[in-house]
Amino acid sequence: MIDPELASWRREWHQQPEQLPDLKKKIRRQDRRGLLQAGLMGGFLIFSLVAVWHFETSLSRGFATGLWFGCLIMGVYVWRVRRGTWKPAAQTTAAYLVLLHKRAVAKHSIVQFAFRFLLTTAVLYAGFVAWRWKHLSVEGAVVLAAIIAELFYLGYVARKRRREVDATKKLLQFSAENSKSASQERQA
């Protein structure tokens, strides 16, 4: 004997289309971008070593040392912030939405940290340049200008990431409200 209520639930479950099918694609695309970013960072690190071996100048050694130090600091921070954002807790739309929101928050936090780290670097480097202003080379001025330009770029990216966090939060709230109303309709 089949329970009619259970049979009704089964029919209802099979009739529901997959919600937000693009959500899984977006998560996979983010995963691929993360792998690409890690690969690019590895490429830059290798490039810095090749530059040191090939040019053997104080600029190339300083560049490589700074790049390796920055990558180490940022790598540790990114790993710490991105814990819990690797995969969804379950294979549900709600779990994917939560994952998307966590990733948006993590990306915003990473950009803020990168901005502060680079700002500290800029202040320290500007102090060094001011202290040795008589020996300022064109390369030193270009490096300082590049750091300042990157600060402006990171400011733009931080604002963009903030909007992404707000959008995913609204989507998460909208989904929660819809699931509450759907469960209330079922109970009625």
> What does pLDDT average to over the chain?
86
Tokens of 165: 């966090």
pLDDT at 183 over 80: no
- Residues 49-101 have pLDDT tens digits of 998 898 888 878 888 898 899 999 999 999 999 998 988 888 888 888 999 99
Asked whether the beta carbons of 110 and 162 are under 8 A apart, the reply is no
Instruction: Please spell the DSSP secondary structure of the chain, one letter per residue.
Output: ---HHHHHHHHHHHHSPPS-HHHHHHHHHHHHHHHHHHHHHHHHHHHHHHHHHHH--HHHHHHHHHHHHHHHHHHHHHHHHTTT-SS-SSSSHHHHHHHHHHHHHHHHHHHHHHHHHHHHHHHHHHHHHHHTGGG--HHHHHHHHHHHHHHHHHHHHHHHHHHHHHHHHHHHHHHHHHHHHHHHHHH-
Write the pLDDT tens digit of every residue in 20-63. 668 888 889 999 999 999 999 999 899 989 988 988 888 788 88
Contact 48, 57 (CB under 8 A): no
Can you give the pTM of this predicted structure?
0.77
Show the tokens assigned to 71.
Answer: 């990558």
**139-152 average pLDDT score:** 90
Residue 23: predicted pLDDT: 84
